[in-house]
Chains A and B, each alone.
Chain A
């Protein structure tokens, strides 16, 4: 005997043909006896039949194409070689990647423009102008101080003491010692301390390093004179002089100056431009000359300061006129010495390249080709130099670009996450 509850649970299975044997027989027997369960069986049969009659919804037209189009061409756990286009299409965030790449390119262009502007400002001519301006400013400031001092007057006895100041400095001695001596003398004779800006210049300009005027002379035989000249013109530095004689058997004489930091690179590059027929390097030692000029400049600054101090203490118009006359002379000498010193600094900081070019059989000519080993070594040196130069530039660029890139990455990342969050909120549809 079967209960109605049990029968109710088995009726759907009977309708589906999932009952067999005793269980089926017991249920069929129960249905014959129980009217309620029989009614339930009929209702359930009708329901299942109705459900089975519900037609399948027709997929919208173009569904297959849509599915195939949006299919990422990548499967997890399936090894497959994909073409670049397929790989690209399969990237889920390719739109964001494109946007990020575009942003980086724009940023790179802007930074390059900024770097180009910076290099214009920092080229040798600009630096020279800048230091010239700084020195002019010092002198103007000194003159202004002079003008003020004239009104205050000075002591006649101190003028002669000031005049002996320069003579007490032996020429050619160690400038730093001389600075110390001058400082002591100035203190003892109440003329005040040395010009602080001049002392600061002394610490760096005299320096501990030796100064040389380098001149690198190279004779090259090149296949294409004009092309070689344009390559040379495109190198770092600037051209002082260029004489070009065109035509068959043409030649050129170019004198260029380059920054000391790029001097070795420039030499290596020149050697690679053609067949080197001769080369020599001259290094003229400017150390003593520079130190001497600096020492004289320092002494002149001291003298200038002492005269200014005298002016401030004197009220006698006659003495004042004499001191002013002396000041004018000292200013002129100071100015000349400053010019000399800057010229010497320029000489050591910007070596000369004297390039003689002759049109003719160059390294392209097999007969005049340098040996394999020398070509390999030259290429290697050029590559190393290029690599060093590239790394330097990359480092500068990375340092300059780091912060903007970081900001851009943060913005793009934030945007990406926001878009994803919005999409998720909208239902996470693809």
Chain B
């Protein structure tokens, strides 16, 4: 029986780790980007997170939980960095994070504006709410993956995620009304 990439990497197979990295480096960068909101910082966080993952590879119990485990390391690395900088509000939303929707140019502009408002509102959320929104709504994590990544019971994930979304909705309400 062939070992999964995690087991092989844990045995010292450098190629297996590279294979894992190819599968998940985009996710790691994407999560880092959602927190840092600029490419340069996201790249640095990605590097730091990947090195942490590599060093603590032995502590990952199963290949099935690798995604959640790696996400948690990335989230913690980004949050640590933001806490260190104490400028969590510094947001730069001008890069590729906002998709260009189809439609007329004025609609596209309006849509971009809405996305910018939403992403800006996410950064106003508390850390735990922001993490839930980023992982679930922007990264598409399942509830089970959220539970593993955040080490929270499923019920807690459901209730906290609901509250996070309601909080986001409330932050956005004034701008939506206007």
Q: A47-B118, A64-B21, A427-B85 are in contact. Are A72 and B55 (CB under 8 A)?
A: yes
Kindly state the separation between the CA atoms of A66 and B169 in the bound complex, as whole angstroms. Answer: 39
> Which B52-101 residues sit within 8 Å CB-CB of chain A?
54-59, 81, 84-85, 95-99, 101
A79 proximity list for chain B (CB < 8 A): 12
Tell whether, in the assembled complex, residue B172 and residue A59 are in contact, meaning their CB atoms are under 8 Å apart: no
Total A-B pairs in contact (CB under 8 Å)? Answer: 139
Query: B154's closest neighbor in chain A, by CB?
Result: A18
Residues of chain A having any CB pair with chain B under 8 Å: 8-13, 16, 18, 40, 43-44, 47-48, 50-60, 63-64, 66-68, 70-81, 427-430
Knowing A71-B51, A72-B51 are in contact, say whether A58-B165 is a contact too (CB < 8 A): no
- Whole-angstrom distance between the alpha carbons of A80 and B97 in the complex? 40
Contact A60 B39 (CB under 8 A): yes
Whether A50 touches B118, Cβ cut-off 8 Å, given contacts A56-B26, A75-B10, A430-B48, is yes
**A57-B47 contact in complex given A10-B162, A67-B25, A68-B18, C-beta closer than 8 Å:** no
In the assembled complex, how far is the CB of residue A62 from the closest CB belonging to chain B, in whole angstroms?
10
Q: Which residue of B lies closest to A80 (CB)?
A: B12
Residues of B within 8 A of A63 (CB): 25, 29, 43, 46
Asked whether A76 lies within 8 Å of B96 as measured between CB atoms, the reply is: no
Question: In the complex, A10→B98 CA distance in Å?
Answer: 28
Interface residues on B, range: 35 or more
A48-B85 in contact (CB<8A): no
Q: Is B124 an interface residue (CB 8 A)?
A: no
B163 touches A9 (CB 8 A): yes
| Residue B178 CB within 8 A of the other chain | no
Contact with A along B3-37 (1 / 0, CB 8 A): 00000011110100110011001100110010000
A70 to B50, CA, bound (A): 10
Contacts of B39 in A (CB 8 A): 57, 60
Whole-angstrom CA separation of A67 from B165 in the bound complex: 34
B140 at the A interface (CB under 8 A): yes
Q: Is the CB of A75 within 8 A of B172?
A: no
Tell me if A429 and B51 are in contact (CB < 8 A). Answer: no
Q: Are A78 and B57 in contact (CB under 8 A)?
A: yes
Chain B residues with Cβ below 8 Å from A66 are 43, 47
Give chain A residues whose Cβ lies under 8 Å from the Cβ of B14.
Answer: 73
- Answer yes or no: B114 CB below 8 A from chain A CBs: yes
Decide if A72 touches B54 in the complex (CB within 8 Å). Answer: yes
Interface of B is mostly: helix
A78 to B55, CA, bound (A): 9
B159 interface residue per 8 A CB criterion: yes
A43 to B171, CA, bound (A): 13
Which single residue of chain B is at the shortest CB-CB distance from A53? B99
Bound together, the chains give a CA A63 to CA B84 distance in angstroms of 24
Partner of B172, one of A10, A47, A78: A47
Assembled-state Cα–Cα distance A11/B162 (Å): 8
Cα–Cα distance between A57 and B36 once the two chains are bound (Å): 12
- Which residues of the partner chain A approach B161 to less than 8 Å between Cβ atoms? 12-13
Chief secondary structure at chain A's binding surface? loop
CB of B41, distance to nearest CB on chain A (Å):
8
Are B58 and A77 in contact, CB atoms less than 8 angstroms apart? yes
Complex Cα gap A71–B15 (Å)? 12
Q: List 6 A-B contacts (CB under 8 A).
A: A12-B161, A47-B118, A51-B137, A59-B30, A75-B57, A77-B59
**CA of A9 to CA of B161, assembled, Å:** 9
B143 touches A16 (CB 8 A): yes
* B138 touching A51, Cβ below 8 Å: yes
Among A44, A73, A75, contact of B169 (Cβ-Cβ < 8 Å): A44
B46 x A54 contact (CB < 8 A): no
Interface: B168 (CB within 8 A):
yes
B133 within 8 A of A: yes
Would A427 and B96 count as touching, CB distance under 8 A?
no
- B138 in contact with A429 (CB, 8 Å): no
Chain B hits for A427, CB < 8 A: 44, 81, 84-85
- In Å, the complex CA distance between A44 and B84 comes to 33
**A52-B137, A76-B58 are contacts. A57–B30 as well, Cβ < 8 Å?**
yes
User: Of all chain A residues, which has the CB nearest B18?
Assistant: A68
Asked if B149 is an interface residue, CB under 8 A from chain A, the answer is no
Query: A52 near B140 (CB under 8 angstroms)?
Result: yes
Which single residue of chain A is at the shortest CB-CB distance from B26?
Answer: A59
Contact A55-B97, Cβ < 8 Å, known A47-B165, A67-B25, A78-B58: yes
Q: Which residues of B contact A51 (CB under 8 A)?
A: 118, 133, 137-138
Identify which of A53, A54, A73 gathers the most chain B CB atoms within 10 Å of its CB: A54
Q: Are A55 and B99 in contact (CB under 8 A)?
A: yes
Which residues of B sit under 8 angstroms from A78, Cβ to Cβ?
9-12, 57-58
**Is B29's CB under 8 angstroms from A57's CB?**
yes
Tell me, yes or no, whether B115 is within 8 Å of chain A by CB.
Answer: yes
Would you give the 0/1 interface string for B147-178, flagging 1 where the beta carbon is closer than 8 Å to chain A?
A: 00000000000110111011011001000100
Expressed in whole angstroms, the minimum distance between the Cβ of A58 and any Cβ of chain B is 5
A281 CA / B43 CA spacing, docked (Å): 79
Cα A71 to Cα B54 in complex, Å, equals 8
Give B85 Cβ to nearest chain A Cβ, in Å: 7
Q: Which 5 A-B pairs have the closest CB atoms?
A: A77-B58, A80-B12, A55-B99, A51-B137, A57-B33
Contacting pair A13 B84 (CB below 8 A): no
A57→B95 contact, CB < 8 A: yes
B96/A58 in contact, CB under 8 A: yes
Q: A12-B161, A47-B169, A427-B85 are in contact. Are A64 and B58 (CB under 8 A)?
A: no
